[in-house]
Amino acid sequence: MLQIHDLSFVPFITSTEIEEAIAKVAQQINKDYTHKTPLFLGVLNGAYAFTAALTKKITGNCEVEFTKLKSYAGTTSTGNIQNLIGVGNLKGKDVIVVEDIVDTGNTISEIVKILEAEEVASYRIATLCYKPEAYKKSYKIDYIGLEIPNKFIVGYGLDYDGLGRNLPEIYQLK
């Protein structure tokens, strides 16, 4: 068991399972982007670990950028998205949005608005963890590492009020 702030967490996804999920996503992307140079757009802070691990497994050329959006306070989504760090010039690029987790889809919705305004050539969405029970939007999630139940998790980039991102495995709320 793990204690972070006032909450207890139990082991949920091992580092081996995470590595296997990332390899599966990378294999799909490598197949889909054989003759293209995708730009991976990592969503900070949570997706830093997934973005780094994923792009190391990309066999062709790629670019990496980051944006920072915030929607969580504690263990729940506020429903309001704050754009804290904008993106550079994405016009005409093939973008792969890299998320640590997709639950309600509010962050994805905001990112899609940004990508459309930037006039990207194409975009796809990759996530390490996906909560189908919580997802409320219609955007296709193209690359899913792990489908998980609608429980709060920490580790491998995911946090609870700033702590837990450094854990090499994922824990769920007890």
With beta carbons less than 8 A apart as the criterion, state whether 100 and 46 touch.
yes
Q: Which amino acids are annotated catalytic?
A: 103
Q: At what angle do helices 15-32 and 48-56 cross, to 10 degrees?
A: 60
Q: Is 134 exposed, middle or buried (0-12, 13-18, 19+ CB in 10 A)?
A: middle
* Nearest of 50, 58, 62 to residue 22 by alpha carbon: 50
